[in-house]
Amino acid sequence: GAVVSQHPSWVICKSGTSVKIECRSLDFQATTMFWYRQFPKQSLMLMATSNEGSKATYEQGVEKDKFLINHASLTLSTLTVTSAHPEDSSFYICSARRLAGEGFVETQYFGPGTRLLVL
C-alpha cells in the first residue's frame, strides 16, 4: 500500500543548529503535504500545508522563518527547523494525501514521525 517515509527518525542536536527533516511519498504523487507536531499526550497540531511548486501555508502562530518548508517535487517535502532551541523539541509528523483511485479510497497517510531533541 501507499507509504510515506520520514528521515531521520531521531535527531539530537545542540541549541542553535538547524535540522532538516525529509518527507517522501513512496508510491504515489502528492501535490499537497502537511506537517504536524505533537507534544507528549497531546493531539497533532498542524503547522503548515506544503504545496508543490509554491510557498507553504502556515498556521497561525507558526513562525515561517523558524520552520522552513520546501516542497521540491511531487514526492518530497522538507521541513527545516532553523536555529533550534529546547522548546522546539517535539515529535514532527508529515502527511501526504492520496486521492481516490481504482481500488482504493481517498486517504491521508502519515510518516512514522521524527523525534527532535534539542539540548
- The residues binding another protein (CB under 8 A) are 32, 34, 38, 42-44, 46, 49, 51, 59, 91, 93, 95, 97, 99, 105-113, 115
Distance CA 103, CA 100 (A): 8
Cell 517515509 sits on residue: 5
Torsion, CA 24, CA 30, CA 34, CA 35, rounded to 10: 10
CB of 69 to another protein, least distance (A): 14
- The dihedral built from the CA positions of residue 12, 45, 106 and 72, taken in this order, carries a sign that is negative
Closer Cβ to another protein, 56 or 118, answer by number: 56
Closer Cβ to another protein, 29 or 42, answer by number: 42
CB of 15 to another protein, least distance (A): 23
Distance CA 96, CA 31 (A): 8
CB of 16 to another protein, least distance (A): 26
